[in-house]
Amino acid sequence: MKVLMFGWEFPPHILGGLGTASYGLTQGLAAQDDMDITFCIPKPWGDEDQRFAKIIGMNSVPIGWRDVDWNYVQNRIGHVMNPQLYYDMRDHIYADFNYMNLNDLGCLEFSGRYPDNLQEEINNYSIVAGVVARTETYDIIHAHDWLTYPAGIHAKQISGKPLVIHVHATDFDRSRGNVNPTVYSIEKNGMDYADCILCVSELTRQTVINQYHQDPRKVFAMHNAVEPLPQEIQDIQPIPHPNEKIVTFMGRITMQKGPEYFVEAANLVLHRTRNIRFVMAGSGDMMEAMIDLAAERGIADRFHFPGFMKGKQVYELLKSSDVYIMPSVSEPFGISPLEAMQCMCPSIISYQSGCAEILTKCIKTDYWDIHAMADAIYAICTYPALYNYLREEGKKEVDGITWEKVGLKIRQHYDRLIGK
């Protein structure tokens, strides 16, 4: 089975959970022998893992004819794409796009991030998708998150192939209900065109059905998973801190993630004991406000703000933490608690997160219940029996939540859509 996937992030260059989930899902699907995946992203760097999918960089796909020789193409984009694919795609340019700001290869440039002109990049991505969709052969189209829905729709209109969209989050999650009408329109249009909608949780599925008015018969919950930790991560040794406990929040410091509830719960804990340090790792538009809030509560001396972390840094922190907490106000799924539990770090999560639907060996509270959150932090840090139980049983639980199992479930939807 050949799958044409559209995504926005792919490891090792990730900006959030979307890239991690896209990679895991692709890897899980690729475990099936007959699966052939082409994964499109705006801007690859050449060091992406292509064992599970052929990566196409949309910034290397020509949409304007340029008379360039093989060596020149090889020199310009050979580190990310086979020059032959460039020429194959050049034969499928479907309109005159020379009025656009094209480079010397007739390609559009992409930031590969989430720039201020994101709407323009989404539109450009869908234009480039028209060339890819005319060049590649595939049985099904799979588009990840709202950024790529227009590309998925374009590919479906060209090929007539079934469109699966993967809802990793909605604007209701990102905005606490203060929805951007432009984003909502793109999301709803993608859902309307989709033949199958996969949502990362039942929580998200209900949002799609009720807020986007979708037929429940085409909307399915498809929980995320984690990949086994590689040996180099398993070998990381925790940093010892015998006289203190470390409680960690890791993620975007935005209103969706509930960072203020973490600070307020920390304040309550520190009224009972002072031998706990709190780490708020990440970046976001509420970071300065959280630094100010910690100072106002008189607990700044027990708080650390190390900034955005990625790769090995994430696991070094998780392995050195005694508690991981995710107090999200609205979390479609939330992979980070699973990653913490892999590192044998007890986790506290909000009931308002999708992963709460499948995790049992952790403590759950409402995001707003800072007293319950503080009690849970204090208990894990104070009672060794509870700490050890959550460490050991949590690790066992997440070891059974694999992307291969997710891949098999997605394959069932693929087969149904193409009439197998």
- Please tell me the class of the 231-399 domain: alpha beta
pLDDT given at position 213: 98
Q: What is the pTM of this model?
A: 0.90
Give the tens place of pLDDT for each residue, 392-420.
999 999 999 999 999 999 999 999 999 86
Instruction: Provide mean pLDDT across the span 4-12.
Output: 93
pLDDT given at position 112: 87
Lookup result for tokens 């190390």: 306
- State the number of CA atoms in the 13 A half-sphere of 14 facing the CB: 21
Domains 2-225+403-417 and 231-399 share a fold: yes
**Per-residue burial over 28-44, b = 16 or more CB atoms within 10 Å of its CB, e = otherwise:** bbbeeeebbbbbbbbbb
Instruction: Provide mean pLDDT across the span 133-159.
Output: 97
Give the tens place of pLDDT for each residue, 308-317.
988 889 999 9
- Length in residues, the chain: 420
H/E stretch holding 3: strand 2-6
Give the tens place of pLDDT for each residue, 100-143.
999 999 999 999 888 889 999 999 999 999 999 999 999 999 99
409 within 8 A of 31, measured Cβ to Cβ: no
- Which distant-in-sequence residues (6+ apart) come within 8 Å of 82 by Cβ? none
318 within 8 A of 338, measured Cβ to Cβ: no
223 within 8 A of 333, measured Cβ to Cβ: yes
pLDDT given at position 14: 81
Q: Where are the domains of the chain?
A: 2-225+403-417, 231-399
| pLDDT band, residue 211 (cuts 50/70/90) | very high
* Paired residues of 14 in beta bridges: none
Domain 2-225+403-417 belongs in CATH node 1.10.3720.10: no
Instruction: Provide mean pLDDT across the span 250-254.
Output: 93
175 within 8 A of 332, measured Cβ to Cβ: no
Smallest CA-to-CA distance from 139 within 169, 119, 163 is with: 163
Give the tens place of pLDDT for each residue, 215-249.
999 999 999 999 889 999 999 999 888 899 999 99
